Amino acid sequence: MSVDVYLNFNGNCREAVTYYAQVFGTQEPRLMSFGDAPPNPGYELPEEAKSLIMHSRLSIFGSNVMFSDVFPGMPFVLGNNISLAIVVDDLDALQSAFDKLREGGNVGMELQETFWSKRYGSLTDKFGVQWQFNFGTGEW
């Protein structure tokens, strides 16, 4: 189990993650753009989103730091562009933490299956801390 940092950017994620990789001497980052995601027949991806980074990850001094651009039209507030990501292989522990943190908070996405995870969800807790929940570490 780990708690990872997740940083969001406003269209300059590719530049930021490449910069941090150089600063910390990590491996060259793998970059998944929104355009790389499997197509959704019920939703056409806006052209301006296709080249934006959906996900990248660096290992910095043994800690996972994950990166993403915000999706066009989603709010971006400099200084509030960080969340904590729970990454765990125990589905019961994941569900329990999600259920407890949702009390008094605001669920952004219910725990559900996605193309990258058997369970993923997000919420902001009653203290305003943003959390992401991911079952399994996956390839990304």
**In whole angstroms, what is the distance from residue 140 CA to residue 81 CA?**
20
The per-residue pLDDT for 6 is 92
The per-residue pLDDT for 11 is 95
Give residue for tokens 């992401």: 132
How many angstroms separate the Cα of 46 from the Cα of each of 38, 61, 69, 72, 109? Answer: 14, 36, 14, 8, 21
Domains of the chain: 5-69 (3.10.180.10), 84-135 (3.30.720.110)
From 68, 77, 46, select the one nearest 140 (Cα to Cα). Answer: 68
Walk along the chain (140 residues) and give the pLDDT tens digit of each residue.
678 999 999 999 999 999 999 989 999 999 999 999 998 888 889 999 999 999 999 999 888 999 999 999 888 888 778 889 888 899 999 999 999 999 999 999 999 999 888 999 999 988 788 899 999 865 54
The per-residue pLDDT for 62 is 87
Q: Are the C-beta atoms of 57 and 29 separated by less than 8 Å?
A: yes
**In whole angstroms, what is the distance from residue 31 CA to residue 37 CA?**
11
The per-residue pLDDT for 8 is 94
The per-residue pLDDT for 3 is 87
Measured from the Cβ of residue 84, the count of other Cβ atoms closer than 10 Å reads 14
